[in-house]
Amino acid sequence: AQSVTQPDIHITVSEGASLELRCNYSYGATPYLFWYVQSPGQGLQLLLKYFSGDTLVQGIKGFEAEFKRSQSSFNLRKPSVHWSDAAEYFCAVGAWNNDMRFGAGTRLTVKP
Amino acid sequence: DADVTQTPRNRITKTGKRIMLECSQTKGHDRMYWYRQDPGLGLRLIYYSFDVKDINKGEISDGYSVSRQAQAKFSLSLESAIPNQTALYFCATSDLWGNTGELFFGEGSRLTVL
C-alpha cells in the first residue's frame, strides 16, 4: 500500500516569512497527491492536488506544491505566511481505484 | 447544511459499551471512508466502501465494524469500546467516477472512552 512521510512534526515561522512543508511518498504507480489543512477544531479542507501534467500546482490561500518524481516528494510552499495559516497540514497519496493514505501531519505555528 | 454530516459530534462513553457513529452525505458520492485521528499519528483509515455492496478494511480495522446502509449512509460501530479508541473520527466521501479523488470530510466525531 502507499505511504506518506511528513518529516517535520512542528514548524514555527514568523509572519511574512516563506514556508516549505515537506512530504515524501511511497507508491508503485503514478500517485494522486494532495495537501489538506486542518484549522483547530475543524475538519480537513483541500488546499491543492496533483494528478498529472504541470508538476507545479497552485492551490487556495496562496499555497503551491511541486511534484518531484525523482525524489518522491510533494512539498508545500507559500512565499509569505499569514497568522491565519497557523494550522495542521496533511499530505496524502491516493490512486483512482485505491484508498487514500495520510501523513502524520505538520503543525504550523506563526509568530507575530 | 453540511454535505457530509456526522453524528454525534461528541460522545463520552464507558469501556465495554457499544457505540455507533453515523455519517450521511448529500454529495451523491459512491465512496465513503472512516478515519481516526490521533495526535502525532495523523489520519488512519479504518474502513472504506466503494459502493453499497463493497466494504474494505483499512489500516486499523480491528475493534471496529461498519455498515453501508445506502449510498448516502455509512456507519461505524465499536462493539465493545476501549480507552485506546478515544480519538477524533472523520467520515469522508469521494466520487468514484470523477477524476479528482478529492476527499470531502465531515466535521468529525470526538469519542472519549473512559
Amino acid of residue B106: G
Contact assignment for B33 to A90 by CB distance below 8 Å: no
In angstroms, the Cα distances linking B81 to A68, B6, B74, B113 are: 43, 19, 19, 7
Interface contact B97, partner A, CB < 8 A:
no
Mark yes or no for CB contact B40/A49 under 8 Å.
Answer: no
Q: What is the mean pLDDT of residues A24-40?
A: 88
> A94, A104 in Cβ contact below 8 A?
no
Nearest alpha carbon to residue B37 among B82, B86, B77, B78 = B86
- Shortest CB distance from B101 goes to which of A43, A96, A105? A96
Distance separating alpha carbons of residues A82 and A14, to the nearest angstrom: 9
pLDDT in tens, B21-34: 999 999 999 899 99
> Among partner residues A43, A45, A49, which is closest to B106 by beta-carbon distance?
A43
Q: Which three cell numbers stand for residue A47?
A: 488546499
**What is the per-residue pLDDT across A69-104, written as a single tens digit (0 to 9) for each?**
999 999 999 999 999 999 999 999 887 666 788 999
Closest CA to B64 of B51, B79, B53: B79
State whether B101 and A34 contact (CB < 8 Å).
yes
